[in-house]
Amino acid sequence: MNLLQIPFSHNCIKVRKALVFKGVPHTTEDISPMNRTRVRSASGQGLVPVLLDGPRAVCDSTAILMYVEARHPSPPLLPSSPKERIECMVLEDWVDAAFMALTRRLAYWKALATPGALEDLFLPGVSGLKRRVVGAIARRAVRRRFRISETQNRRDMSEIRRVTTLAVDRLGAGRFLVGDALSVADLALAALTAPLWAADPRVREHDAVRELLHWGDGILGREFLSYYRSTSPS
């Protein structure tokens, strides 16, 4: 199996952790956010992650997790109880809906406000005039694609407090969202909240945000969070 990925993408982190957790032999192929030619030629669309398994291309992180679970069921990432399995998938869907775009916007807001930060992510190893020109294009594209603005950021600062509080309340005193073992819902929550390490430090002043981020550290392990944690050591 070969995973086409953008290394700092939270959806790609989610899939990488699942593959490692299950001990699935695989390679990773890094894709430039500014050049999706390889992804489109392999899968017919431009989003990552894409899992290539022989001639088959599986797109969308949740679909990839289900595919890997079917091919490599042990150790499981879905509960054995039908009721808990349904609950797990409902929670995974909620995490995607509640956190995916929200945490990306908050992280990109900080990157756009920090000279060179977005270029370091999108254009590693590129310097000089090309970095300045392509970096300006990338900044405009990110603002437009994710609808980033001061007004939206104010809304996002409020919303992240609300949804992290819900997630922390759901966890309660437990380690996992469903049952007593790691599941795709846990991977989704840990990975999709990880960009908050790279957001404005004021985001992490909220108790629920801090608690959820440290919980996610324990789920993913810091080696999966280097792009985010390197910008925020605490």
Specify whether 102 is located in the same domain as 187.
yes
Specify whether 152 is located in the same domain as 172.
yes
pLDDT at position 233 over 60:
no
| H helix or E strand, kind and range, residue 117 | helix 117-122
166-172, Cβ contacts within 8 angstroms, sequence gap of 24 or more: 166/98, 167/95, 167/98, 167/193, 167/208, 167/212, 168/208, 168/211, 168/212, 168/215, 170/91, 171/215
**Final residue belonging to a domain, choices 71, 106, 130:** 71
Specify whether 90 is located in the same domain as 124.
yes
Task: Check which CATH number belongs to the domain holding 15 and give it.
Answer: 3.40.30.10
Percent of the chain predicted with pLDDT > 90: 91
Contact 120, 198 (CB under 8 A): no
**What is the pLDDT of the chain when averaged over all its residues?**
94
Q: What is the pLDDT of residues 164-209, one digit of tens each?
A: 999 999 999 899 999 999 999 999 999 999 999 999 999 999 999 9
Specify whether 130 is located in the same domain as 15.
no
Instruction: Give me the mean pLDDT over the 73-99 stretch.
Output: 97
pLDDT higher for 125 or 12?
Answer: 12
Which residues, including other chains, have CB under 8 Å from residue 26's CB and lie 6 or more apart? Answer: 1, 2, 3, 19
Beta strands 27-30 and 2-5: pairing type?
Answer: parallel
Residue 77 forms part of a structural domain:
no
Specify whether 86 is located in the same domain as 143.
yes
